[in-house]
Amino acid sequence: MPSYRYVVKSSVEETMDMIKLSQAKSNPIFEELRIVMGEHKLATLAYEKYYIRNSNRTALFVTIHDFYDQAEVTVISTGSSDNFLFNFEWGAAHDYIASVKKVLRPVLISETEIKYE
């Protein structure tokens, strides 16, 4: 399950709009923008794709916040296959992450891969 954190030089709203445009071909599952502690913003986005050709499903979860005076974007993607013989993901989750990174590239300050042990 690939997971990355990006620091960007755009606002939470601008970043949210960029990501939403980049996922126009995905099925939106959830979207929310909240004001936290009076001045900070927290956005949450969730998307899903289904690939009929190989019965793959991928999901993309995104949080964006400005708690540390810069917008931070956390992106997590997961995928699976409903195939009878094989039940593993064919790289679609990594492609989902790449689509977000591509749209963030013009405003990207830093990127960190999040590793879970």
Average pLDDT, the chain: 88
Instruction: Break the chain into its structural domains and give their ranges.
Output: 3-113
Do residues 84 and 65 touch, judged by C-beta distance below 8 A? no
CA gyration radius, the chain: 15
Tell me what the mean pLDDT of segment 29-47 comes to: 96
* pLDDT score of 1: 77
Higher pLDDT, 79 or 8: 8
pLDDT over 70 at 117, yes or no: no
78: left (phi over 0), alpha (psi -120 to 50) or beta: beta
Whether domain 3-113 has CATH 1.10.1740? no
Tell me what the mean pLDDT of segment 66-79 comes to: 93
* Measured distance CA(114)–CA(98) in Å, rounded: 15
